[in-house]
Amino acid sequence: MFCNIMNKIFLVFKFLFDKQIPLKEKWWIIIPLIYILSPVDLIPMPILGFSVLDDLLMFVYLMSIVSEKTKKYYGNEKNLKEKDIIENVEYEIDDDEGLK
């Protein structure tokens, strides 16, 4: 689980710095990040310490958006790698043709 979260955090940075992705798509990630990092909360700290709850919910929302957006632009990288593998191919190298 920790590794999965770290992969998603890596994908956040990859997504944000990818110049081929339009800015309007990046705002879906930028705005929740700003909210999580800002000291302003919808639920103030004195109310039984629940101010962490809204940040946690925003983080869960951010991780779901990251999954959705990165699948849209990058696809499932594991499936892409498996698709590119070619097996059971017979080939022959003819050295004489390259010397002429």
Task: Name the DSSP class of 22.
Answer: -
The lowest-confidence range among 23-27, 45-49, 66-70 is: 45-49
3-class DSSP state for residue 50? coil
The confidence band for 98, taking pLDDT boundaries of 50, 70 and 90, is low
Give the model confidence (pLDDT) of 4-15 as tens digits.
778 778 888 888
CB atoms within 10 A of CB 27: 10
Residue with the bigger pLDDT between 32 and 93: it is 32
Give the model confidence (pLDDT) of 56-72 as tens digits.
888 888 888 888 887 88
Give the pLDDT confidence score for residue 13 in this predicted structure.
Answer: 86
3-class DSSP state for residue 33? helix
8 Å CB contact between 28 and 69: yes
Rounded to 5 degrees, φ, ψ at 17 are -100, 5
- pTM, two decimals, is 0.57
Q: How long, in residues, is the chain?
A: 100
